[in-house]
Structure 1
Amino acid sequence: MTRLFNGIVAFGSALLLAVTLIGAGFAAVAIPDAATATLSRAFSGCDQPNTPFTADELASMAIAGKHYTFDDNDREKLDAAIAEANAAAEADGRATASTRENAARSLPADAISHLDDVYRVASMAKPALVIVAVLCIAGLAHVAVRIGRRALGRTLIASGELVLAAFCALGAWAAIDFDGLFAAFHSLFFQAGTWTFPYDSLLITLYPTAFWMGMGGIWLAVTCGLSILAVLIGFTLGHKQHD
C-alpha cells in the first residue's frame, strides 16, 4: 500500500510540477509590468501609422490596460490614462476633441467587457496556480524524503520533458499559424465573437499581433528554461548514489 501511495504521489507531483512550470511562464508576463512596457514600446501602433498617439502615450495606456486586466480592475485609472493620452494628443493638434469617443481613441463597452472577462479568468487562475505550486512542493518533498533522490530526479525529468514536448509543439504551431493558435487559446476561455475587434480600434492598436507574439515568446522562454533546469537537476540527482 505504501509503495502504491508513493507512486501516486510521484505521478501527481510530476503533473503538478508541469502545471507550475507553465504557470511560471504565465506569471512572468502577467504579474510584472516589464514585459508589457517593453513590448508595447516596440509594437503598439506598429500597424497603425496614423494613430494620433506617441509611443510613450501608447505604452502608458497599454500598461494601464494590463493593470486593469490582471491587477486591480480599476476602471477609473484606466479611463484616466486614456484621457491623459487624448488630452496630450489634442493639445498639440494631433487629434481633435470631436473624435475622442471614436473606437480608435477609446475603449468602447465591448472592449471593456472583454478585458473584464480576462480579469475574471486571471483572478481564478492566479490563486489556483499558487495552490498547485504549494501542493507541488509538498509532493516533491514527499518523493525526496520517502522514496529517494533518484525518484525525485525521475519526477523532475518526466515533468520537464513533458512540458518541453508540449511547448515545442505549441511553438511549432505558433510559427506556422500564430493566428490559429491565438484563436484556439481564446476559444478555451471566451465566447466566440467577444474577443475580436476592428484592426484600427484602440485595443488592437495597443496590443497588435506582434505584441502577443512577443508575450508568447517570453512565456515560452521562461517555461522552457525552467523545464530544462528541472531536467538537468533530475539527471544530476539520478546519477547520485542512494541516500
Structure 2
Amino acid sequence: MLAHLASASAKAAPEHVDPGWRPAWNAVLPEVLALLADPDPVIRRQVAYLVGVAGGVTEQRLAALLGALDGEQDEVTRLDLVLSIGRVSGAAPNADVADRLEALLDAVQPQLRLAAVHALTVSDAGPRAPWLELVLAAVRDPSVELWRGSAWIGTGVRGVHLWTGMLFPGAAPDYALGLLADHPDPEQRVGALAQAARVLSDWHSPTTALLPALVERLADPDTEVRYHRGSLPASRLAQAR
C-alpha cells in the first residue's frame, strides 16, 4: 500500500497531494533506504521497488540503490535494484548511471542483462537493434523464472514475454518470431503464441511473416499449446493464406 501511495504522490500534480506528504516522506526516506540492507531479501526487493516508484531526492535514492546493488548477492533482488535504478535515473538522466547500466549488458546472468535493457529504455527512445538477440536469449532462458520473485514484475514466462514485448511496440514481427522458434518448454511456446496474438491484434502486416511458425503449432505435442494456437484470430490467418 505504501508503494502505491508513494507512487501516486510522485506522479500527481502538487495541488492534488496533501502538503504534508512530501516533507513527511523525505523525512523518513533515510530510514526506508536503510532497509535496502535488511537481512530478508524479500524485504530488500519490496524496498527497492518502493524507492524506485516513490518520489524524493533523486541523488539520494540513486546513491542508495547503486550502493545496494554493489553489495547485493541475491539474484532476484539485483533485478529489482536495476529496474529501480532505471526508473529513478530516467527522471533525471545521468551519464554515469547509464554507463553502469550498459556495463550490465555484458553480465553473466541473462536476467540481469534483461533488467539492464529495461532500465535503459526508461530514458532511451527504445532498444537498439543489437538488444533483440540479447532480449530473446534472456526471455527464453530457464532463469526467466527468477522474475516470479520480483517485486517489480512478479510473473513467470508468459508475463515476462509480454512485459518485454512492450519494448517492441511496432508492427515488426522480429521479437514474436524469435519467441516462436522451437523451445522444449511448453510454457515458452504458449508465451510465444500470446505475444503473436498481441501483435496480430494490433497489426495486419506481420501476419504473413508469422504464419509458418503459427501453422507448426497446430501439431504441437502439448494440448495447451494447441489450444492457444487455436485461439488466435482466424480471420487474420485466413487472409494470409
Normalised by the size of structure 1, how large is the TM-score?
Answer: 0.25
Structure having greater relative contact order (Cα 8 Å, sep ≥ 6): 1
More helix by share: 1
Normalised by the size of structure 2, how large is the TM-score?
Answer: 0.25
- Greater gyration radius: 1
